[in-house]
Amino acid sequence: PTVIRREDYRPPEWLVPETALDFSLGAGETTVRSMLKVARNPDGSGDKTIRLNGDGIEARSVSVDGKPGNGWRMDGPDLLIDLDGDEHEIAIETVLKPAQNSQLMGLYASNGMLCTQCEAQGFRRITFFPDRPDVLSSFTVRMEGPKDAFPVLLSNGNCVKEGEDGGTHWAEWHDPWPKPSYLFALVAGELVSNHDTFTTMSGRKVDLNIWVRPGDEDRTGHAMESLKASMKWDEETFGREYDLDLFNIVAVSDFNMGAMENKGLNIFNTRYVLADPETATDADYDAIEGVIGHEYFHNWSGNRVTCRDWFQLSLKEGFTVLRDQLFSADMGSEAVKRIEDVRILRSAQYPEDSGPLAHPIRPDSYEEISNFYTATVYNKGAEVIRMMRTMAGPERFREGTDLYFERHDGEAATCEDFVKAIEDGAGLDLGQFRLWYSQAGTPQVKAKLLHENGFATVRLEQTVPVTPGQPEKQPMPIPLKLALFERETGKHKGEALVVLDKESADFSFKGHERRPVLSINRGFSAPVAVEIDTTSEDLVFLAAKDDDAFARYEAMQSLVVRHLISAIGGGLGERERDLERDAVSQAIESALFDEDLDDLMRGELMILPAEAYLAEQMLVADPGAIHAEREGLRAWLGEELQEDFEDLHDRVSEVPYGRDAASRGARKLKTQALLYLAAGAPEEAAERAARQYALADNMTDRQGALMVLCGLDVPERDKALADFRKRYEGNALVLDKWFALQAGSLHPDVLEHVRELAGHPDFTLGNPNRVRSLYMAFAMNPAAFHAESGEGYRMIADLILKLDPINSQTAARFVPPLGRWRRIEPVRSDLMRGELERIAATPHLSRDVREQVTKSLG
């Protein structure tokens, strides 16, 4: 396999100041004529050969400076031409078959329309080009096609000319902003738009369109509101103004990821555009707001300043995730958003960091770049930048980002450029901090509180675990916010920020006559795992009293994690277990009745730590034991607090539907309460859930009730499932939920259900949303995936092999769950490894799957 290394970066030999593309569109066949004005790069080595990347395409003709010729050759998939002068014009014709493009990279057909996906290396599936992010070009795009099939023709920038000739029509688009090929986009199809406008801070009017299939326009209101809010927020918070007169978003049903930030023409998975209360949950609404914001924010962090090479991916993704997190926090509850973000980090990124695919946020090498669109690059990347913001404070951080945008506008930059700009602009010394970019692994911090002579001393020790290719690690600077609570008053004297930058250090605070209670990593100020030497009483105290919402949640989680881990390990006698369960029950009960809490936050405090997170706490995990103990605790709490949960469910069921926080909080609690009740007294709960299902006037309640019913072996289950399917006939996104609820359920027969669902007429491997809804929900369902028989592992391995030739990017995303084998008990571990070996032994694997499987076995 060819390994691409960061250290091998060389500037491009040739630049492409101008690109003109001419598309003759057809779903069966599309002809692309490109004209590239190329110029020798003064920073290159003087090589006279230009390398134009290609992938699965053939050149029908090539000419240089108007002369067709054969002075070109192929080098694998790439086209090479020797050029004598410093400037030339290269014309190339390629022919594509969009309807046959099941990989969904390059130009493809989706639901009758044509659309593109070029990041990271899809442009080379359209035409030959130096397909690397540091080659920026001015694009002019002409497209023509049958008006009945493709009434709307869109590309980046502005439409400068259009016309028609019989049944054919054409449009020419010009993007005034030079951009790398990965930001190119084209869409052609039968689309209708929700149109609005936004006036920027300098008074420019921008036309906004959200394009969808006819019939879907009524479900675009929330996306449009989110877009306008994003534009305003970026002006106010980061001083960034939009820079074109037009901003288009198109929703497509077949898409490998969430959305794509193409300049002036964002392309979205329908999932992150379409919503109304009847078909979208509160979580869907939040996700739409977050993704719309994310893609919009890329206009500056990604497009105006782009990446020099793909190793710098976190430069745009980590920063943009941080920006979208701050945006969502400002739009709703800051505390709840922080908790949700940490939950994602812990369940998706921590396992990555402790497994065979661990990599730094700026990787050193890759075989297939698509495999590096990871939680590490995105979410840990955001945490790393958030730490800089915490150390600098928001105002100085803003000075740093202003300097970054000013210095690098129009450039292809590096992570180092970003750090330097923050260092200079915010006045921080980030010398040692750069280790966060190069070292993988989640740092482990041990915290101990010592108390003597009125001094409280926080003793901290860090270790950074060994990860593949990184046997030795250096201590990292870890900014930790902490507070010391007086037991009697329940108050502290102010929060401190300490930076642990050595293997160990003591931080002393005077004026503590009595031993205080330590609250540490408040607000999750650093993406580390903290092991704190404290008592359950202190955790109960913090769970009830901490004034930092995240720390309060954390104390509750720690209390439960601590109990479950010792119970799973078999270290608790019957009596001890009951005592510990009592402590958990009391903590939950006090959260249920705390009048200072809003319901959204109350809902967070009720969520039990995920099984994947519990597994992370153990060197070798037994998924069966984890599942049994966690569900056992839930059932015990469900019985113990049955009346409380019933009262709670009754109370919140009275709250009418609205998009406000109180109403959303009520819905969150409704389903949380049902989950406990279903575990404690399944039959009674089934009735309650069926009632919630029947009375629901919104998808959050309906889906919540159905989720609970799906996990129970009761007659109400099948009835509700059949109703759900019929009620939302023809709505693909809701049908995805129907698949996912069954595959992700607690029902003992999930494996059988998934097998049956895979043969359902509505199931297809051609649509990534549908594949994820069935199989990712299953792979993330610990009890089913880790079935002792190994059938769950076999099912996912079979899927990978079947999906690989159809959509290798999506197939490769199913490898990491199997790659956890080293951290699983021996019987299951062997079965998991066996499936990986079976995949590895299969001929003709894609580069995507091969890289993930080889590394997972290595």
Beta bridge partners of 485: 492, 517
Which partner in ligand HT7, Zn ion, none is near 260 (CB below 5 to 8 A by kind)?
ligand HT7
From 172, 289, 295, 616, active-site residue: 295
Chain center to CA of 411: 26
DSSP state of 370: G
From first CA to last CA, the distance across the chain in angstroms is 14
Please tell me the distance from the alpha carbon of residue 515 to that of residue 485, in angstroms, as a whole number: 9
Q: How far is the CB of 119 from ligand HT7 (least distance, A)?
A: 5
Which partner in Zn ion, ligand HT7, none is near 856 (CB below 5 to 8 A by kind)?
none
The 3-class secondary structure across 170-195, one letter per residue, is EEEEECCCCECHHHCCEEEECCEEEE
Output 252 or 685, the one with its CB closest to ligand HT7.
252
Output 473 or 847, the one with its CB closest to ligand HT7.
847
Residues near ligand HT7, by CB under 6 A: 117, 119-120, 256-257, 259-261, 294-295, 298, 317, 370, 373, 809
- In 3-state terms, what secondary structure has residue 498? strand
Please tell me the distance from the alpha carbon of residue 266 to that of residue 697, in angstroms, as a whole number: 32
Residues near Zn ion, by CB under 5 A: 317, 320
Q: How far is the CB of 610 from ligand HT7 (least distance, A)?
A: 24
C-alpha closest to that of 263 among 303, 290, 228 = 303
C-alpha closest to that of 561 among 602, 597, 511, 611 = 611
Structure token digits, residue 299: 């206009």
Q: How far is the CB of 236 from ligand HT7 (least distance, A)?
A: 22
Q: Which residue is nearest to ligand HT7 (CB)?
A: 257
Output 373 or 436, the one with its CB closest to Zn ion.
373
Q: How far is the CB of 323 from ligand HT7 (least distance, A)?
A: 11
C-alpha closest to that of 350 among 386, 318, 379 = 379
The bridge status of strand 504-509 relative to strand 496-500 is: unpaired
Determine if residue 361 is left, alpha or beta; phi over 0 gives left, psi from -120 to 50 gives alpha, anything else beta: alpha
Output 308 or 753, the one with its CB closest to ligand HT7.
308
Q: How far is the CB of 8 from Zn ion (least distance, A)?
A: 25
Which partner in ligand HT7, Zn ion, none is near 423 (CB below 5 to 8 A by kind)?
none
Please tell me the distance from the alpha carbon of residue 489 to that of residue 753, in angstroms, as a whole number: 54
**502 contacts: CB under 8 Å, gap ≥ 6:** 462, 475
C-alpha closest to that of 356 among 246, 469, 276 = 469
Q: HSE-up of 266 (CA within 13 Å, CB side)?
A: 32
Q: What angle do CA 18, 134, 52 make, to 5 degrees?
A: 65
C-alpha closest to that of 526 among 466, 603, 460, 469 = 460
Strands (E) across 257-328 are located at 259-260, 265-269, 306-307
Please tell me the distance from the alpha carbon of residue 347 to that of residue 616, in angstroms, as a whole number: 9
Q: How far is the CB of 382 from ligand HT7 (least distance, A)?
A: 11
Which partner in ligand HT7, Zn ion, none is near 256 (CB below 5 to 8 A by kind)?
ligand HT7
Output 259 or 587, the one with its CB closest to ligand HT7.
259
835 included as an active-site residue: no
Which partner in ligand HT7, Zn ion, none is near 519 (CB below 5 to 8 A by kind)?
none
Output 254 or 261, the one with its CB closest to Zn ion.
261
Q: How far is the CB of 115 from ligand HT7 (least distance, A)?
A: 11
Please tell me the distance from the alpha carbon of residue 123 to that of residue 33, in angstroms, as a whole number: 14
Q: How far is the CB of 679 from Zn ion (least distance, A)?
A: 38
Chain center to CA of 337: 14
**107 contacts: CB under 8 Å, gap ≥ 6:** 30, 96, 98, 101, 114, 115, 116, 125, 126, 186
Which partner in ligand HT7, Zn ion, none is near 144 (CB below 5 to 8 A by kind)?
none
Which partner in Zn ion, ligand HT7, none is near 370 (CB below 5 to 8 A by kind)?
ligand HT7
Output 562 or 813, the one with its CB closest to ligand HT7.
813
Q: How far is the CB of 294 from ligand HT7 (least distance, A)?
A: 6
Output 307 or 540, the one with its CB closest to ligand HT7.
307
Helix axis angle for 642-653 and 574-593, nearest 10°, is 20
- In 3-state terms, what secondary structure has residue 25? coil
Which partner in ligand HT7, Zn ion, none is near 373 (CB below 5 to 8 A by kind)?
ligand HT7
Output 320 or 371, the one with its CB closest to Zn ion.
320
**349 contacts: CB under 8 Å, gap ≥ 6:** 374, 375, 376, 379, 380, 527
Which partner in ligand HT7, Zn ion, none is near 119 (CB below 5 to 8 A by kind)?
ligand HT7
Which partner in Zn ion, ligand HT7, none is near 308 (CB below 5 to 8 A by kind)?
none
Amino acid identity of residue 794, one-letter, is R
Structure token digits, residue 343: 């939950």
C-alpha closest to that of 94 among 66, 51, 145, 55 = 55
**Preceding peptide of 555 cis, ω within 30°:** no
Q: How far is the CB of 302 from Zn ion (least distance, A)?
A: 7
Beta bridge partners of 518: 484
Q: How far is the CB of 135 from Zn ion (least distance, A)?
A: 20
**CB of 807 within 8 A of CB of 256?**
yes
Which partner in Zn ion, ligand HT7, none is near 117 (CB below 5 to 8 A by kind)?
ligand HT7
Determine if residue 494 is left, alpha or beta; phi over 0 gives left, psi from -120 to 50 gives alpha, anything else beta: left
Output 301 or 467, the one with its CB closest to ligand HT7.
301
Instruction: List active site positions.
Output: 295
